[in-house]
Homo-oligomer: A and B are copies of this chain.
Amino acid sequence: MQESAIVLLSGGLDSATCLAIARQRGYRCHALTFDYGQRSLAEIEAARSQALAQRVAGHRVLQVPLGEIGGSALTDHAIEVPSPGKEGIPATYVPARNTIFLSHALAWAEADGAAAIFIGVNALDYSGYPDCRPEYIEAFRRLMQVATKSGVEGRAITLEAPLIDRSKAEIIRAGSALGVDYANTLSCYQADSAGLACGQCESCELRRQGFAAAGIEDPTRYRRPAKS
């Protein structure tokens, strides 16, 4: 029987690639997207389009109350999205976001008997978020073993982070080879309601540099050109 996987799907470039990799590895994929009070609901639309294009077995959009908790430029509109290049962990960091996302994925995986969870974090061309690093993924793996009935009973669910050590250019090349349509992905922290990217934030910058380094044309629709 084909094994199932829960794949976190944000609507961004990384998670779209991660889904394509999970499919290539032979899993029956269920996509999981969160409506968490993010600035741009166009992200969720991009996730729906990816889920459809990649013919997932199911797609859930779960509401989680991160907007009520705040503490981030992405969920509290009183905090400005910073320009790229500042030192340290930027204001776009959302407290415990991946822990909240993975805990729901774990619940779904256990309830439905899925064998694996896929998350598209990468720790190379990234914003320095603590919950995108290999030590975080390792700590969540350890938690999964002791947190669940399936873990205690020896039917462990695995946590896969296939992009963790890849550059943005490598991710784009891998996804392109697997047929991912990046025109239907959205990386921008402050896209408008039509899905146009700002072209200025750190996420736009990482994306643009990635396409350039991969030698692949960037299909992103930007509102403004790159800063010179």
Contact = CB atoms under 8 A, between A and B. Distances in A.
Chain A interface helix/strand/loop/mixed = helix
Contacts of A146: 130-131, 133, 135-136, 139
B96 A110 contact: yes
A69 interface: yes
B143 A111 contact: no
Assembly stoichiometry (copies): 2
A148 B139 CA distance: 12
Interface string A43-72: 000000000000000001011111011111
A28 B112 CA distance: 40
Contact size range, A: 35 or more
A222 interface: no
A97 B89 contact: no
Given A99-B103, A130-B152, 20 more contacts: A62-B68, A69-B107, A71-B112, A72-B111, A93-B149, A95-B106, A95-B107, A95-B108, A96-B106, A96-B107, A96-B147, A96-B148, A99-B106, A99-B107, A100-B104, A130-B148, A139-B139, A139-B145, A142-B142, A142-B143
